[in-house]
Structure 1
Amino acid sequence: MIVRIMGEGQWRLADDKLEQLNAVDTDLEKAVSAGDEEGFKAAFGALLEFVRGGERVPDTELHDSDAILPPGDSTLAEMRELISGDGLIAG
């Protein structure tokens, strides 16, 4: 799975990480739905950190992204506009 963080690049995550990735994404969705600013910051930070823990794809390689995450400085209000009922990560 290839995940892009806008403004940073792409990371390759092993397919067996999808369940963990979805769990972190669910925490983010819950915090955003509740309007919980602190919970949002913690969950979004955890999601970005999880993705950054994957294998960085060199900028010279171009791959279709399976998921695209907003920049790390995104706000709760911006995230509300982006999150659907399935969170940021489909699946």
Structure 2
Amino acid sequence: MKIGFIGCGNMAKALINGMVSSETVSPQDVIASDAYFPALEKTHKELNINITSDNKEVVKSSKYIVLAVKPQFYTSVISEIKEFLTEESVII
């Protein structure tokens, strides 16, 4: 199961931590992107997940994509990633 997070703030980090610590998902099966790279690197060091600054990479490598951005950014994020979504993509 590949899960991607676009946005990796406090709420996304809490979700990822819960999934990884409960062994619902392996850290190697999680990828996250965020505009603020220092926080993203910190999450990588703490949880050992994959990280990127490219939202499209998250979509390309994930079946489940969690939009963990503020609502005012949904339109721009969807516009950026829409051509990389497949019929199998699940957006949360």
- Higher RCO structure, 1 or 2 (CA under 8 Å, sep 6+): 1
TM-score normalized by structure 2? 0.31
Normalising by the residue count of structure 1, what TM-score does the alignment of the two structures yield? 0.31
